């Protein structure tokens, strides 16, 4: 990505100068939006300055007073803030619980527009959302379905589009949110959707209209990372295989890893104190496993998050597994 950024800076400079609708939207932004739509298989795509801005701007543009939102209990903070700011009535359903969601949808038919919103791969516990079932419910109850693929873009699905592709649920999803900040190794959020929705967001999403566009060099990095996703699919298969391997080794050591199976491997340790203590010890041994505590997770569910990447060598992963051996929970 670095040479791509250098080349762009040398030709178009650094700052974009203004919000997209004034004059901040350049040729590289336009090309990235075109490539994003091709990548996602949607009519159109729209770039935001971050994933946070994409969620906040989209939710508040789609629903307002008199509308209803159905939001998974473990959704990302940017979704939660979007729900709050929108003024819509928000129903929080228990994590990945489609039965509860169905009950809520049945009991709240009087609202005007209804929006179901979920992460596709939850950033703290590594679980996948049941997108196929959510898509069925959205269709049955004529709700809009918005899915945040932040942690899955570039990693899940045959073409790396995310969990929706992995589960075959893409057709039932109306808006897909992504970010360049996770697997794509850069910065910038996006929405992929129909042309009609994208046109609406261009006019209504306040975090798009009233915020300076990303530097074009960041868009150039985005183009390069999409190319890598397209042309080097072995990166994502290798990472998911390695994650499965690490999980099975850590299970044998008695760690509580929850039920997930993604590249995010949580080690549940209980209290914030236990999490900080273990994280500090591992740091001294050369491993960065951040302690995740309330309010990022509910009380009692503090954890150390192992975020595996393609760049980790077999040796470093093996070294982590043996370091954890000496700290493992005793039965």
Ligand X SMILES: *Cc1c(COP(=O)(O)O)cnc(C)c1O
Which residues of this chain interact with ligand X, rule CB under 6 A? 50-52, 55, 76, 78, 119, 123, 148, 150-151, 179, 181, 189
Please tell me what DSSP assigns to residue 300: T
Pick the catalytic residue: 25, 151, 166, 174?
151
DSSP letters along 131-188, please? HHHHHHHHHHTT-EEEEE-TTTTTTSSTTS--HHHHTT-GGG-SEEEEESSSTT-S--
Q: Provide long-range contacts, Cβ within 8 A and 24+ apart, for 235-242.
A: 235/310, 236/154, 236/155, 236/156, 236/160, 236/183, 236/310, 238/310, 239/155, 239/263, 239/308, 239/309, 239/310, 240/155, 242/308, 242/312, 242/314, 242/317
Query: CB 295 → ligand X: shortest distance, Å?
Result: 15
Nearer to ligand X, 151 or 174 (CB): 151
Q: How far is the CB of 54 from ligand X (least distance, A)?
A: 8
> In angstroms, rounded to a whole number, what is the distance separating the alpha carbons of residues 56 and 329?
40
Is the Cβ of residue 278 or residue 289 nearer to ligand X in the bound state? Answer: 289
Q: Residue 146 and residue 172: Cα distance in Å, rounded?
A: 10
Q: Which is nearer to ligand X, 53 or 324 (CB)?
A: 53
Main-chain phi, psi angles of 51, to 5 degrees:
-65, -35
- CB-wise, 80 or 220, nearer to ligand X? 80
Give me the residue whose beta carbon is nearest to ligand X: 51
In the complex, least distance from residue 24 CB atom to ligand X, rounded to whole angstroms: 18
Lookup result for tokens 């950024």: 5
Q: Taking the complex as a whole, how short is the minimal distance between the CB of residue 148 and ligand X, in angstroms?
A: 5
Nearest distance, CB of residue 156 and ligand X, angstroms: 13
Closer CB to ligand X, 123 or 262, in the complex: 123
Annotated active-site residue 245? The verdict is: no
How many Cα atoms occupy the beta-carbon half-sphere of 87 within 13 Å? 7
Give, in order, the Cα–Cα distances in Å from 91 to each of 56, 132, 138, 211, 270.
Answer: 17, 20, 15, 29, 28
Smaller CB distance to ligand X: residue 148 or 301? 148
Which residue among the candidates 50, 71, 78, 123 is catalytic per the annotation?
Answer: 123
Residue 167, token pair as written in the block: 């589960």
Q: Smallest distance, Å, CB 65 to ligand X? A: 25
Count of residues in the chain:
331
Annotation says 151 is catalytic: yes
Question: Active site includes 123?
Answer: yes
d(CA 54, CA 76): 12
Catalytic residues: 123, 151, 182
């Amino acid at each position: 990505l670095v040479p791509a950024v250098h080349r762009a800076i040398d030709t178009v400079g650094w700052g974009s100068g203004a919000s997209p609708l004034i004059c901040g939207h350049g040729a590289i932004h336009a090309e990235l939006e075109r490539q994003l739509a091709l990548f996602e298989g949607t009519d159109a795509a729209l770039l935001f300055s971050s994933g946070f801005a994409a969620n906040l701007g989209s939710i508040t543009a789609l629903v307002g007073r008199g509308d209803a939102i159905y939001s998974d209990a473990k959704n990302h903070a940017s979704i939660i803030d979007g729900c709050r700011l929108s003024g819509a009535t928000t129903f929080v359903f228990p994590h990945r619980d489609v039965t509860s969601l169905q009950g809520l949808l049945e009991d709240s038919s009087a609202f005007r527009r209804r929006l179901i919103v979920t992460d596709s791969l939850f950033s703290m516990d590594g679980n996948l959302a049941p997108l196929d079932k959510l898509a069925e419910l959205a269709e049955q109850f004529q709700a809009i379905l918005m899915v945040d693929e932040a942690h899955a873009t570039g990693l899940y699905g045959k073409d790396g589009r995310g969990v929706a592709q992995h589960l075959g649920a893409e057709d039932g999803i109306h808006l897909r949110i992504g970010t360049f900040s996770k697997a794509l190794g850069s910065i910038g959020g996006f929405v992929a959707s129909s042309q009609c929705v994208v046109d609406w967001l261009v006019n209504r999403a306040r975090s798009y209209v009233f915020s300076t566009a990303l530097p074009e060099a960041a868009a150039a990095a985005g183009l390069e990372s999409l190319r890598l996703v397209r042309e080097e699919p072995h990166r994502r298969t290798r990472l998911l295989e390695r994650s499965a391997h690490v999980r099975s080794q850590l299970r044998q050591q008695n760690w509580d890893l929850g039920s997930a199976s993604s590249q995010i491997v949580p080690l549940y340790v209980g209290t914030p104190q236990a999490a900080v203590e273990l994280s500090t010890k591992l740091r001294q041994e050369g491993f960065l496993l951040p302690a995740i505590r309330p309010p990022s997770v509910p009380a009692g569910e503090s954890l150390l998050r192992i975020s595996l990447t393609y760049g980790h060598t077999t040796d470093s992963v093996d070294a982590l597994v043996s370091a954890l051996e000496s700290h493992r929970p005793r039965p």
